[in-house]
Structure 1
């Protein structure tokens, strides 16, 4: 796949932050001594490292090997239970994952460990699957409370502390309060990194903690080293790009995601893991910021040609987002308006209305900006239907994001009808809402930022000074975005 073979890897630059320790280019490992036999213990630690790298499918395979090596190894069942929910990933576990995780938790109910730390970790995993939990958020909260307690009770256990940091990130609120929590978790992870500079979970979770505009510079040193700790793990190769996307370093993001996508393809068996599509979406975004439109289009074509993508939220998001980025980032409004409502057949789209919304948003904005108000109105109706579905399902963040998309389409329809004052007010409200809720970690960026759309609208209305403020505000959140940079020239 020629588009995956991009520039050679960037030379590794030593970390400049005084609180981080230089990590050599070797494979780093976590090492938890279980009470199981040596063969099971070895397989368990293989799984533990994979789960810290969020390679959940492979982690479960390793924990199953541990269970085969010693059927009474409780920590093997802990690993299987932990592999089947993904605390920081959007979406909920699939039915199959829930079934496998619940079965492992049930087996744990008849097991116990003489090790206090093992029992504390087991209790946390079992808490997630307790039948009394109502909804995924309640399950995460229950697990997080037990996991944090386990770390508090066993302050010298590195893995318990790392998972506690993950738990706090997974249950952090959105907005300013969430940033405060993430900063505090980052402080904890910085201290852990001093003790264990090669621990993959510590490095990985630190990147997640700092994956936001206010804290991104604290994440840069971790981003420079994480791929060295697990050079064959697709997610470890991808994760530094979260920080480099925040800092607008597109070449670094493209290089890392190229390696991630190749590794994901090489390691995929019956289905192409969602790590592949996720990396491609980030690559497409990066190439578009650099003006490499042919490269971006080629990657989208290659991704869409694959017929056995993993039917997960990660795959769904990328398969929905990357194709609409092409016309939107290039201002090809008539092309966006003509996008087909039909999407990749491998994904059960009814499960992921928030991803379908991006297609209708693109059609609506494209149609309104190219003068086809009837098509824009039809797209708006589809967005409102999807918004109602998200609210009914309790998908609060995505419902709010879709609300901002609805207001943006309404604004441009209003502008097409001559209502400039109302149009600007609606687009400004959409931008305020989108900025307030922020972007999800699953995406390198909104498919078209509402604040940038406000800049476009003000430019069309002959207000370049006000437009410049909107474009600069966009760049403050998303440095080096091409459309805003060009607009300010």
Structure 2
């Protein structure tokens, strides 16, 4: 599709909008129908019927539209994009001259903290903005909202997603400054800051600015879903996560009818190693997602269910509960149909079984791990596919199948080339880290210890230079933990202990790092530190139900010391 063809749908209906003699005439049914809006009743699956928090958004569409408009924004703030679009569509059907309802449609197709919009979503958003701009009966403030998201959709086919997120951020900053009493403008500005934050910025400049805005508003509007939700995203980083714990503990109570609101607190629980809270959060979220799929008539499984499963399996593994983790892996393997097909579901399909075999050092199973099959093509998701090939690389290397490991490395190079050509620099770097780590273990198994350690340290440093993707619970296997494992295998126990300590700072209460830190401390002659790590391990694990042999080792040591 060429440049003109991409823009043609917008240009075709823009004259229709502007041809009317009366500029205040509502958009025609024909123009509105071109948006192909989602419609229907709002689906609610939480413990409380249709409770999504409290929003009071001032707009000029009239008192009759306000209740629905507020509900649509509540849903929007909890990233319930399909449901929000339904309610904005209801406002449009009843009040077609409501410019802000079209703003809402554009916002529903933006989803700034997930994957970039598809081409169809970009076209829908651009069309909605064109309609909103054609409507004259809107306030100057409302025009500012429309202009801000309009800048994101402008030139979408020639400018990249991140650049357009920066445009949105700057426009929201200006709107916020112009209307300092508009809390919604401040909240959406904070969201824009999070969307425009660079994963390479370890000072978290934009996130801290967003946090200061949101915290100032939280005391005034404790039941606002956007404030609570964006606080969680804003502080979803090592060293900052503790600041979001009150919001994480409150969000599910504020918006219990949202599957995403039930899940989102687990981002902070994961960051802080609060595995019981993490598990409860995602069990509720998965159940709500299953309910949603049934009520929505989805054939198969909703993507939010798999997203919750990813976090759930991660938490089970950190508690050493292989039985429950294995049950979820088996359940995932039974899934063949998911909606909608997107990067989240591809990630879950790749990461869940990979985590299970890698966290348990099941190297033979890792070497044979296959790409799960469902209703999507792995060719569309090179980063996610790389996770499985990385798992196979490590598995083959650890059992001495060097040729097989090198073949998997070659596949990783191919996938990185694809990501480079797509100019997907973040995910290309993720695969580059996997290549270095995989190559390090191949060298190590071949006896080239010096170069293996050098390569593994480079991989760990590279990984520490960027943040994890905000959708994921964590790296499939932290590179610095792999470095620590290698150091311990070469009897560099103090250096290994330092590396495990570094992992635990970023990933508190990781099962393998706690256990191996205890072993490294013991081998270094530091029984006091070994005591500390083994006690911590037993405190966070399911001792009675865990089949992990490490539990027995830790208990035996503590009995003797």
Q: Give the corresponding residue for 1:223.
A: 248
Per-residue CA distance 1:199-226 (angstroms, 9 max, x = gap): 1111111111111012111111111111
Residue 191 of structure 2 is aligned to residue 163 of structure 1: no
Q: Give the corresponding residue for 2:125.
A: 101
Tell me how far apart the structure 2 counterparts of residues 273 and 144 of structure 1 sit (CA, whole Å).
31
Q: Give the corresponding residue for 2:14.
A: none
Assess if the C-alpha contact under 8 Å between 1:113 and 1:119 holds in 2. Answer: no
Tell me how far apart the structure 1 counterparts of residues 223 and 510 of structure 2 sit (CA, whole Å).
33
Tell me how far apart the structure 1 counterparts of residues 373 and 111 of structure 2 sit (CA, whole Å).
24
Q: Give the corresponding residue for 1:51.
A: 76
The alpha carbon displacement at 1:465 in A equals 1.7
Matches within 5 A, 1:71-220: 71-89=96-114, 91-131=115-155, 134-176=159-201, 178-220=203-245
Q: Give the corresponding residue for 1:286.
A: 315
The alpha carbon displacement at 1:65 in A equals 1.0
Tell me how far apart the structure 1 counterparts of residues 203 and 377 of structure 2 sit (CA, whole Å).
32
Larger CA deviation: 150-159 vs 280-289: 150-159
RMSD: 1.5
Larger CA deviation: 294-303 vs 375-384: 294-303
Tell me how far apart the structure 2 counterparts of residues 298 and 122 of structure 1 sit (CA, whole Å).
47
Assess if the C-alpha contact under 8 Å between 1:223 and 1:241 holds in 2. Answer: yes
Tell me how far apart the structure 2 counterparts of residues 186 and 41 of structure 1 sit (CA, whole Å).
28
Q: Give the corresponding residue for 2:417.
A: 388
Larger CA deviation: 183-192 vs 280-289: 183-192
Q: Give the corresponding residue for 1:432.
A: 461
Assess if the C-alpha contact under 8 Å between 2:52 and 2:75 holds in 1. Answer: no
The alpha carbon displacement at 1:177 in A equals 5.2
Tell me how far apart the structure 2 counterparts of residues 293 and 71 of structure 1 sit (CA, whole Å).
55
The alpha carbon displacement at 1:39 in A equals 4.0
The alpha carbon displacement at 1:250 in A equals 0.5
Residue 475 of structure 2 is aligned to residue 450 of structure 1: no
Tell me how far apart the structure 1 counterparts of residues 182 and 71 of structure 2 sit (CA, whole Å).
18
Larger CA deviation: 380-389 vs 121-130: 121-130
Tell me how far apart the structure 1 counterparts of residues 390 and 131 of structure 2 sit (CA, whole Å).
46
Q: Give the corresponding residue for 1:354.
A: 383
Q: Give the corresponding residue for 2:426.
A: 397
Tell me how far apart the structure 2 counterparts of residues 27 and 140 of structure 1 sit (CA, whole Å).
26
Larger CA deviation: 95-104 vs 68-77: 95-104
Tell me how far apart the structure 1 counterparts of residues 288 and 64 of structure 2 sit (CA, whole Å).
27
Tell me how far apart the structure 2 counterparts of residues 39 and 313 of structure 1 sit (CA, whole Å).
39
Tell me how far apart the structure 2 counterparts of residues 62 and 307 of structure 1 sit (CA, whole Å).
31
**TM-score for both structures, normalised by structure 2:** 0.80
Tell me how far apart the structure 2 counterparts of residues 156 and 199 of structure 1 sit (CA, whole Å).
16
Q: Give the corresponding residue for 1:8.
A: none
The alpha carbon displacement at 1:184 in A equals 2.1
The alpha carbon displacement at 1:300 in A equals 2.2
User: What SS does the aligned partner of 2:389 have?
Assistant: helix
The alpha carbon displacement at 1:363 in A equals 0.4
Assess if the C-alpha contact under 8 Å between 2:211 and 2:231 holds in 1. Answer: yes
Assess if the C-alpha contact under 8 Å between 2:248 and 2:265 holds in 1. Answer: yes
Per-residue CA distance 1:260-314 (angstroms, 9 max, x = gap): 1111111123253321111100000000011111211211222332333120111
The alpha carbon displacement at 1:335 in A equals 0.6
1:420 to 449, 452, 469: 449
Q: Give the corresponding residue for 1:368.
A: 397
Larger CA deviation: 99-108 vs 194-203: 99-108
The alpha carbon displacement at 1:197 in A equals 1.7
2:489 to 441, 460, 464: 460
Tell me how far apart the structure 1 counterparts of residues 202 and 513 of structure 2 sit (CA, whole Å).
29
Residue 285 of structure 2 is aligned to residue 255 of structure 1: no
Residue 407 of structure 2 is aligned to residue 378 of structure 1: yes
Per-residue CA distance 1:307-348 (angstroms, 9 max, x = gap): 3312011111111111111100101011100112x3332123
Residue 349 of structure 2 is aligned to residue 319 of structure 1: yes
Gaps of 5+ in 1: 1-25
Tell me how far apart the structure 2 counterparts of residues 257 and 339 of structure 1 sit (CA, whole Å).
26
Assess if the C-alpha contact under 8 Å between 1:405 and 1:430 holds in 2. Answer: yes
User: What SS does the aligned partner of 1:119 have?
Assistant: helix
Q: Give the corresponding residue for 1:16.
A: none
Residue 510 of structure 2 is aligned to residue 481 of structure 1: yes
Per-residue CA distance 1:440-469 (angstroms, 9 max, x = gap): 111111111100001111111122221111
Per-residue CA distance 1:91-116 (angstroms, 9 max, x = gap): 22123322322221222231234322
Q: Which has the larger radius of gyration?
A: 2
